[in-house]
């Protein structure tokens, strides 16, 4: 387990004051996994590549960064990190729904069967944004993509392991006789992860598991089959997009979601995989975009639809 501990420390070095030799030693261990050489300086934003990270580019057909137009600093921060390690990222403009769209969303989405206590315009926009990314994956025929919301970025250790990680994950499909759809790099597990079955091992020696119900859409990989599955599933807004992911996992065993976190040493939000930007780094967008734009409670929404339909609202709905 020493190897996984070193990689974990390397992935988090940006948030700690460590000696330069510690950072470099950890990097060379990681480079053996990723086959890459990048000169790293142990300062927060001073990571300078000396060689193109070609193996990273082979892992995903596209890396989507979901970003609201006004959140310029978030995008600039993400682009800075991406440029430092030589990867191309694609900015996906996040859809910003208005309160008046809650009862008439675009793209054929329905809110009539809302299960959450309320629906916020920002949460609806977030759902639409992810769904449009999945549609783009379908239309372009991409085999596998990475999706990141604009306030997180993968740790260096995670980037280094990606080629070998997905080789192992893909090979395990033959063993399990089924294909994966979704890979969490960050999640909030709502059940005991010790009950999860192992899908494969990761390069760091930690198990990749078949994820139990989890909240998490900030950092994930999705396959072509997964994009089709999710695009068809999210025709109704029942819960916020990450909560609805957990509900999907509960009731549909055909949907194969995997966790690439350190599942045998599990910590919610998987800090070994993903760093979250500080409040200062988020700039003028330090709050949650999913809570913006006004909201309607479940009861109020039921009454409004009942008025439209000319029937009495069901208080138990």
**Does a structural domain hold residue 121?**
yes
In a domain, 134, yes or no: yes
Average pLDDT over residues 159-181: 97
Mean pLDDT of the chain: 85
Question: What is the arithmetic mean of pLDDT over 164-193?
Answer: 97
* Residue 314 pLDDT level (bands cut at 50, 70, 90): low
What percent of the chain has a predicted confidence (pLDDT) above 70? 81
Checking if the pLDDT of 16 tops 80, the result is no
The mean pLDDT of 288-313, rounded to a whole number, is 88
On whether residue 278 sits in a domain, the answer given is: yes
pLDDT surpasses 60 at 21: no
Q: How many domains does the chain divide into?
A: 1
Q: Which CATH number is 73's domain given?
A: 3.90.550
Structure confidence by residue, pLDDT tens digits, 33-75: 343 433 332 223 333 332 334 477 789 999 999 999 999 999 9
Q: Which whole number is the average pLDDT over 10-26?
A: 37
Q: Tell me whether residue 251 is in a domain.
A: yes
Q: What is the DSSP string of the chain?
A: -HHHHHHHHHHTGGGS---HHHHHHHHHHHHHHHT--EEE-SSTT-EEESS--HHHHTT-SEEEEEE-TT-HHHHHHHHHHHHHTT---EEEEPP---GGGTTS-STT-B-TT--SSEEEHHHHHHHHHHHHHHHHHHHHT-SEEEEEETTEEE-HHHHHHHHHHHHHHHHHHHHHTS---EEESS-EESS-GGGPPEEEE-TTSPEEEE--SEE--SEEEEEHHHHHHHHHHTTB--S-HHHHHHHHHHH-TTS-EEE-S-GGG--TT-TTTEEE--HHHHTT--S-GGG-S-EEEHHHHHHHHHHHHTS---TT-
Q: Would you say residue 88 lies in a domain?
A: yes
Q: Which domain holds residue 178?
A: 54-309
Residue % of the chain over a pLDDT of 90: 76
> What pLDDT score was predicted for residue 312?
59
Asked, for residue 99, whether it belongs to a domain, the answer is yes
Is 7 among the domain residues?
Answer: no
Structure confidence at residue 174 (pLDDT): 97
Structural domain includes residue 233: yes
Tens-place pLDDT, residues 223-262: 999 999 999 999 999 999 999 999 999 999 999 999 999 9
Provide the pLDDT for residue 315.
Answer: 52
């Amino acid at each position: 387990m020493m190897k996984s501990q070193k990689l974990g420390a390397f992935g988090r070095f940006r948030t700690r004051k460590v000696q330069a030799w510690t950072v470099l030693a950890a990097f060379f261990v990681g480079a053996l996994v990723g086959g890459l050489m990048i000169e790293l300086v142990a300062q927060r934003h001073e990571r300078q590549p000396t060689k193109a990270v070609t193996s990273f580019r082979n892992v995903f057909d596209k890396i989507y960064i979901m970003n609201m137009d006004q959140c310029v600093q978030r995008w600039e921060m993400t682009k800075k990190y991406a440029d430092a390690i030589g990867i191309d990222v694609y900015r996906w403009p996040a859809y910003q729904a208005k309160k008046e769209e809650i009862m008439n969303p675009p793209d054929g989405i329905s809110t009539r069967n809302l299960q959450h206590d309320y629906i916020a315009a920002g949460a609806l926009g977030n759902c639409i944004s992810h769904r449009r990314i999945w549609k783009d994956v379908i239309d372009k025929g991409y085999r596998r993509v990475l999706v990141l919301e604009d306030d997180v970025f993968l740790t260096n250790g995670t980037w280094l392991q990606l080629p070998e990680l997905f080789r192992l994950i893909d090979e395990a499909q033959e063993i399990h006789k089924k294909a994966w759809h979704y890979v969490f790099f960050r999640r909030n597990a709502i059940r005991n992860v010790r009950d999860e079955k192992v899908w494969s091992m990761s390069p760091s020696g930690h198990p990749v598991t078949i994820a139990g119900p989890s909240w998490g859409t900030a950092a994930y990989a999705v396959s072509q089959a997964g994009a089709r599955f999710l695009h068809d599933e999210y025709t109704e807004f029942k819960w916020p997009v990450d909560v609805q992911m957990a509900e999907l996992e509960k009731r549909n065993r055909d949907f194969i979601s995997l966790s690439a976190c350190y599942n045998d040493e599990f910590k919610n939000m998987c800090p070994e995989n993903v760093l979250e930007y500080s409040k200062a780094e988020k700039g003028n967008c330090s709050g949650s975009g999913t809570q913006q734009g006004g909201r309607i409670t479940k009861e109020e929404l039921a009454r409004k639809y009942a008025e439209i339909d000319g029937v009495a609202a069901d208080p138990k709905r």
